[in-house]
Amino acid sequence: MASESIFNATIENFESDVLEASFDTPVLVDFWAPWCGPCRMLMPLLDKIVGSYNGTLKLAKVNTDEQGEIAGSFGIRSLPTVVLIKDGKPVDGFMGAQPEGAIRALLAKHMPAIDVAAEEPEDVAQPELNVDLDQAIAEARAEVADNDSEEAPKAKLADLLIRSGAMAEAEALLEGLSESGRETAEASRALARLAFARIASASPGEQALLQTLASDANNLGARHQLGAVLLCSGREEAALQQFLQILKSDRKFEDDLGRRALVEAFSVVDDDALVGDYRRRMSTLLF
């Protein structure tokens, strides 16, 4: 969709049509690539949202395969990344495919309110979180009650509780496991998820981390925190991209934190194909 409000940005027009234009009209900059599946999911949603602003918001699309200089100037390492430019500088943004409601909520902080009551928010880009989580927890509780001497069901329940936000109960269950019980696959998964949840809860939040990385792409501590936030919110590929970038940037950072974060994340991610892909990417950097 090409229009005055939605256009392709290049190194030739970026300064005039994005940076300078943003003093009059805020510009969303969508960093994407043709091979990026989540980018293709997000693009029509951004077109729709920007169109609903009736010319008071613009969308600049940056193909990072062709416009690497622009992507490099913003420190883009994960796709899709969307940055809101206002008054010539980045003021907000996000990484990964997001649902319509989340994107509109972000824009509402910087834009005049618009009437979208007639539009039903679309969740086509919503990460597929377990909609039956409460039922799964109830079933896991029953399994624990029926097998009180077994530790694997307790670890499984702890993992589900962490996903629901019941951290204290999950921690108590994991602390009660024996040494051998903590070495099972179920416990390893729960402990890894708990570690990421703690990092995410101690972080300043996704938007603050994005702003930090926009100004300093080499802040690997912030990148690690962002990866944990993304992983805990179900955006698994975006999280793995952050951890892989740490590995690419500095193997020595905090005792090879990028590699360790990837290995821990692999135990949490359910998508075997995604894990296999990132295992191969990790291996190419290690050997």
> Per residue in 238-272, pLDDT tens?
899 999 999 999 989 999 999 999 999 999 998 88
Contacts of 238 (CB under 8 A, 6+ apart): 38, 78, 95, 96, 230
Q: What is the mean pLDDT of the chain?
A: 87
| pLDDT score of 24 more than 80 | yes
User: Would residue 232 show up in a list of annotated catalytic residues for this protein?
Assistant: no
> Per residue in 71-109, pLDDT tens?
999 988 888 899 999 999 999 888 887 777 788 888 888
Is the preceding peptide bond at 204 cis, omega within 30 degrees of 0? no
Residue from 21, 28, 39, 213 carrying the catalytic annotation: 39
Contacts of 178 (CB under 8 A, 6+ apart): 151
For the chain, the DSSP string reads --SSSEEE--TTTHIIIIIIGGGTS-EEEEEE-TT-HHHHHHHHHHHHHHHTTTTSSEEEEEETTT-HHHHHHTT--SSSEEEEEETTEEEEEEES---HHHHHHHHHTTS-----TTSPPP-TTS----TTHHHHHHHHHHHHHHTTT-SHHHHHHHHHHHHHT-HHHHHHHHHTS-TTGGGSHHHHHHHHHHHHHHHHHHS--HHHHHHHHHH-TT-HHHHHHHHHHHHHTT-HHHHHHHHHHHHHH-TTTTTTHHHHHHHHHHTT---HHHHHHHHHHHHHHH-
Encode burial over 161-192: b for 16+ CB neighbours within 10 A, e otherwise.
bbbeebeeebbebbeebeeebbeeebbbbbbb
Residue 241 half-sphere exposure toward CB, CA atoms < 13 A = 15
> Per residue in 154-192, pLDDT tens?
999 999 999 888 889 999 999 999 999 998 889 999 999
User: Would residue 36 show up in a list of annotated catalytic residues for this protein?
Assistant: yes
Residue from 36, 49, 103, 246 carrying the catalytic annotation: 36
pLDDT score of 152 = 93
Q: Quote the percentage of the chain above a pLDDT of 90.
A: 54
pLDDT score of 77 = 81
- Strands 58-63, 6-8: pairing is parallel
